[in-house]
Structure 1
Amino acid sequence: MTRIQANLLLLLAAAIWGGGFVAQSTAMKAIGPFWFIGLRFLIAAVAVLPFMLRESRKATTKTSPRHLTLYLLTGLALFGGAATQQLGLKTTTVTNSSFITGLYVVFVPLIAVVFLRRSPHWIIWPGAIMAVSGIYLLSGGQLSALSTGDLLTVVCAVFWAGQITLAGTTVSETGRPLTLSTAQFAITGACALVVAIVTEPISWEAIRGAAPEILYVGLFSSGVAFSLQIIGQRYTTPSQAAIFLSSEALFGASLGALLLNETMPALGYIGCALMFLAMLLVEIVPELARRRALQGLKSSPNLG
């Protein structure tokens, strides 16, 4: 798979996630946040399990204790992100949530620098600023005062950044993207259900009331989109992945206008343009630099 194809997979994942924000918000009219998280991710784990088993039969790399640790850490990061985002949606708007969640586009390169001692391509920094600015403009540039939900979503963005970074590292080492998907879904679902059993009431009526949202985010936002993310990240960098995945806010606004007759503020169109420009820059500039370097090697004299 080429890097362009991988980034297109990440773009598709972002489009699916964009449609999931409304489902996540409306589901809590019928069911508690942790029951919702637990059920959606267990459905996702079951959906991906057959593909994981097929992948395991063909795998050439044996699973080591380090790999198991990486699966666990990625699953815990996913649980942290899902929990704080879902709890945040109780006291913040979908617009604010999509904007603040998009801050992971800044946190990912920071994690790469601080923890991995890995400097991203220079274009990532202006690209990240452009992407976050674009998400902000999608809201009309008028966010309400920060609420508890907003602060929880900031924490969510940190968890998402950790999950993106860990997923890239794990897939690079294991070569098993679907195994990672299944593991992180199962870990997140199990953690959420443990919390839900202790803290939240449940009934069949609640599950039936939230069933459409649970199935959408379980099969598509979780099962399909996260698997696309894991597969795509195998062939691109975490920083570039973050740029493309941040377009979920763009798709959320577009799907809201298309399906719910919501209107986009005038600044929102500028935001869309900024996000598309950011994605083009992080795709084209490194590729041009790579080709220029290859041409330089070919044209250099052979001194051997």
Structure 2
Amino acid sequence: MQANTYWKSNSLLLLTALIWGFSFVAQRLGMVYLQPFTFNGVRFTVGTLSLLPVVFFLRTKQKKEHRAPLLSKTGIFGGFALGGALFLGASLQQTGILYTTAGKAGFITGLYVIMVPLLGLFWKQQTNWSIWVGALLAAAGMFLLSVTESFSIGKGDLLVLGSALFWAVHVQLIARFSKRYDVLLLSLYQFIFCALLSFGVAINIEEIVFQNILAAKLPIFVTGVLSVGVAYTLQTVAQKNANPAHAAILLSLESVFAAFGGWLFLNELLSLRAFAGCMLMLTGMLFSQIFTGKRNHALL
């Protein structure tokens, strides 16, 4: 991998983590007005609409022979697989946020940093030793933040923990499909499928009130345009040139940003134990970044 490509991918993944981290605050505020599946259905619809002009603009700049077909088996199947994982992860996470804080939800979600390399073993992916050490440090940090001294964990925390598994699956699926099909079209298709699945459930088990959707316009904008339209697309583009396990370490920094956002906007205070957890997370990310970066440069 070229040095510029390596650092560009890392920068995009870090920006993605920043947006996602602060989006936990907006997701929690959105629950004041809307139920989980309705909220997800609306925000992924907004994310789809925000991405449409970008997709069509960039396609007009491409030569016809270089354009990926709008409809293909690979694109549709990839979009459905990604959208399904996205739907399950987002649904469990959004429901869990009803019962826990934004900061805790962010850190528990970050457990997928451990799950990604474990899943990668099933695909016979090579994992650098530094990623495992960084992942263990990150997991220790999340333990300090999320688990009480009596080793208890709440309903919301368990739901968010379940979402972490599907985020790990999502990271692995992106790594597979982004090399085989246009990344922006993949993003578009996954948002469409996720929105349809979310609305399908919402229509059956929730009450959709248009006035409440209007009242939640700011959280919807932040989570729809920024978190979905911008961040998920950045993730898909960046992962085209990134090791899945290393990407997961960087993306898990959303936990730190979520905790900071919860303190800044929702007055969620961090204890000394929780702060120590944040520092371990940061240490794990830096450890993975430095040693993986050295290895990549050695291969140039």
TM-score, normalisation: structure 2: 0.89
- Paired letter, 2:124: R
Distance 1:257 1:88, change over 3 A: closer
**How far did residue 47 of structure 1 move?**
0.2
Aligned counterpart in structure 2 of residue 71 of structure 1, from 68, 73, 79: 79
2:171 is matched with which residue? 164
**Cα displacement string for residues 222-253 of structure 1 (whole angstroms, at most 9, x for unaligned residues):** 11111111111112111111001101110112
- Paired letter, 2:281: M
Distance 1:46 1:93 in 2: 29
Contact 2:106–2:256 (8 Å) recurs in 1: no
Q: Which of 146-155 and 183-192 deviates more?
A: 146-155
Aligned counterpart in structure 2 of residue 12 of structure 1, from 12, 15, 31: 15
Contact 1:140–1:265 (8 Å) recurs in 2: no
2:144 is matched with which residue? 137
SS in 2 for 1:123: helix
Structural mapping, 1:149-298, within 5 Å: 149-174=156-181, 176-292=182-298
**Cα displacement string for residues 1-54 of structure 1 (whole angstroms, at most 9, x for unaligned residues):** 521221111111111111111221222221111110000000000101111123
1:41 is matched with which residue? 44
Distance 2:147 2:153 in 1: 16
Contact 2:133–2:288 (8 Å) recurs in 1: no
**Cα displacement string for residues 129-159 of structure 1 (whole angstroms, at most 9, x for unaligned residues):** 1112223334586587333333222221111
Contact 2:112–2:167 (8 Å) recurs in 1: yes
Q: Which of 222-231 and 90-99 deviates more?
A: 90-99
Distance 2:184 2:172 in 1: 17
Q: Which of 201-210 and 258-267 deviates more?
A: 258-267
Contact 1:134–1:274 (8 Å) recurs in 2: yes
Distance 1:97 1:54 in 2: 36
Distance 1:89 1:251 in 2: 16
Distance 1:158 1:128 in 2: 15
1:25 is matched with which residue? 28
- Paired letter, 1:131: A
Distance 2:246 2:115 in 1: 12
- Paired letter, 1:168: A
Could you list the runs of 5+ residues in structure 1 that have no partner in the other structure?
A: 295-304
SS in 2 for 1:89: helix
**Cα displacement string for residues 83-103 of structure 1 (whole angstroms, at most 9, x for unaligned residues):** 111112223333332222111
- Identical residues among aligned pairs (%): 37
Could you list the runs of 5+ residues in structure 2 that have no partner in the other structure?
A: none
Q: Which of 181-190 and 267-276 deviates more?
A: 267-276
Distance 1:290 1:251 in 2: 27
TM-score, normalisation: structure 1: 0.88
Matched, 1:54 2:57: yes
SS in 2 for 1:31: coil
Contact 1:140–1:267 (8 Å) recurs in 2: no
Quote the RMSD (CA, aligned, Å). 2.2
Distance 1:143 1:26, change over 3 A: farther
Distance 1:203 1:192 in 2: 15
- Paired letter, 1:96: K
**How far did residue 163 of structure 1 move?**
0.7
